[in-house]
Structure 1
Amino acid sequence: MRPLALIAIFMSCVPTWCCGPGTSNIDNLIVFGDSYTDEGRLTYFLTHDYNPPPAGLYIPESNLTSSGGPSWPLLASKKLGAKTYNYAVRGAVCTNIFPGILPTVDDYEVPAFLADVAYVNPTTGTNTLYTNRTPSNTVYSLWIGANDLGVNAFLTDSQPAGETLDAFIDCIWPTFDNIYNAGGRKFVLFNEAPLNYAPLYRSLADGGAGNVPRWPDKESYNTTEYEQKMLEYVTLVNTIFDYGSPFQLLVKKRWPNASFSIFNVNQLISDIYNSPSKYLDEPANATGYYAECPDTLQLGTAGCVVSSNPLSSFLWYDELHMSPKVHDYIATEFVNVVNKKSKYGTYYS
């Protein structure tokens, strides 16, 4: 390839960080992911013998979440004046290579969305779930990876023989293919949170949690080694997102006429971790966690041991999940990303 052609491709992929026209009149927020996003879909599974919701059933917003309160989709939808359609499931991974893990993005969440889009109410003969979904008034977001990269998955080498992180990455882009083919044009991809800061994955030497239900034999491992391994995985995946997103959109032209934003939630949470008193109530605590719970699928604090300090003073609700206070910051910056006004956003179109 000639040098001028290379320069042209490079220039077409230069992102914007805090400029460009904002997005207004967002009526629908459609989200996919895991416990960082789930607001009630897991509850439906648990209360219906692990059967999924039928097509056409709206799962209402809920404060009974893994954060101990309202999570970012509910908060963001209120800031946007939009309605949330939440397909995230606590415990989910992107693709089903890990046995025993809850429904995946590619096997369940996106097909559930497509089934809802195709649903026809037998009484009205119309789709009564999505009544006002257009390419311009709907944003689609994906935040996945906390379970894919974690314990009982890649971190502890629990993947099937021959599987690599490519299996995770190769699930991301087809997810947006399916959404695009269903009419989606405004995409937001969250990068990976700094899981190495989470008490679950932080080393014992750095004050991380010891043996907990999510990792009952953690103390038998070299926790410093695994903290660094998590950092390496998160950094690698986020670098692939940074280079892969403009390549898929602008070079391969995979989603014509679509816009694609990367939300650097990793940096946002890192900023809170490194300067907790700027973001959290007193006594600001970015290393400990509010609730110690006996069940990995715990919703609410029944049976949990909770801190005497306010939940709003903690970055971490439990050893893996951020508190509602942090979710509010995430929601605020998500709205700014949607409007192309966040320093944590990178924008391609």
Structure 2
Amino acid sequence: MPLHLAPQYANDTLHGRPATRYWPDKPSNLTAIAIKMLQQTTSANEILRYQTVYEVLVAKRYPRAHVALFDLFELISDIYADPAQYLNRSVLTKASDYEHHCDVAGEVCAYEYDHAYPDSFMWWDELHPSGKMHEIIAQEVAQVLEGQSRYASYWSDGADGRQTG
């Protein structure tokens, strides 16, 4: 996930949260937090990308296996860049908006727009994707399993006569 886009970690003065129920003593430098999250998620994704190719094609650890690496980071980034293409835009919200707002103690919570437009939000709360996002991700995972996703890379070790990469 591109966690640097989540309101919990975002460098967004309107929607980046200075403190939340998940991180009540959050430091005030939102820019440093967003950059750190971007670095960490990018690094982890690159390790997985290179390690997967190595495991399948070089080490041949999974004979006759067909492997797909789903790039959730890219999918979420695309939705964030163009939310109108993916989300119900009945309510004019930004991709960084979220539906379920709570105080720092997590004791007083309320839904934005009284939960009338759940398909309009990318984020359910400061940290978690919305129900609509889960639906979009599930649809894309189905495409990955069918070998049809533009958000996946596919490999086979070639033991069955096919080698991809």
Which residue of 190, 194, 216 corresponds with 2:24? 216
2:96–2:122 Cα contact (<8 Å) kept = yes
Output the CA distance in 2 between the equivalents of 1:332 and 1:290. Answer: 22
Q: Is there any run of 5+ residues in structure 2 with no aligned partner, and where?
A: 157-165
RMSD of the TM alignment (CA)? Answer: 2.1
Which residue of 20, 41, 52 corresponds with 1:245? 52
SS of equivalent residue, structure 1 residue 270: helix
Deviation at residue 204 of structure 1 after TM alignment: 4.7
Give the greater-gyration-radius structure (CA).
1
Post-superposition CA distance 1:104-159 (Å, at most 9, x none): xxxxxxxxxxxxxxxxxxxxxxxxxxxxxxxxxxxxxxxxxxxxxxxxxxxxxxxx
| Amino acid in structure 2 at the alignment position of 1:208 | G
Q: Which has the larger share of helix?
A: 2
Residue 289 in structure 1 maps to residue 112 in structure 2: no
Deviation at residue 279 of structure 1 after TM alignment: 1.1
Q: How does 1:99-178 map to 2 (within 5 A)?
A: none
Residue 194 in structure 1 maps to residue 6 in structure 2: no
After superposition, the Cα gap between the structure-2 partners of 1:262 and 1:325, relative to the gap in structure 1 and judged at 3 Å, is same
Q: Is there any run of 5+ residues in structure 1 with no aligned partner, and where?
A: 1-192
Output the CA distance in 2 between the equivalents of 1:273 and 1:204. Answer: 13
Deviation at residue 205 of structure 1 after TM alignment: 3.3
Select the structure with the greater relative contact order (CA < 8 A; seq sep ≥ 6).
2
| Amino acid in structure 1 at the alignment position of 2:63 | P
1:311–1:323 Cα contact (<8 Å) kept = yes
Which residue of 299, 307, 323 corresponds with 2:112? 307
2:37 aligned residue: 230
2:10–2:30 Cα contact (<8 Å) kept = yes
Deviation at residue 294 of structure 1 after TM alignment: 5.7
1:270 aligned residue: 77
SS of equivalent residue, structure 1 residue 346: strand
SS of equivalent residue, structure 1 residue 285: coil
TM-score by length of 2: 0.84
Output the CA distance in 1 between the equivalents of 2:62 and 2:144. Answer: 19
SS of equivalent residue, structure 1 residue 241: helix
Report the more deviating stretch, 243-252 or 202-211: 202-211
* Percent identity over paired residues: 38
Deviation at residue 240 of structure 1 after TM alignment: 1.1
Residue 203 in structure 1 maps to residue 11 in structure 2: yes
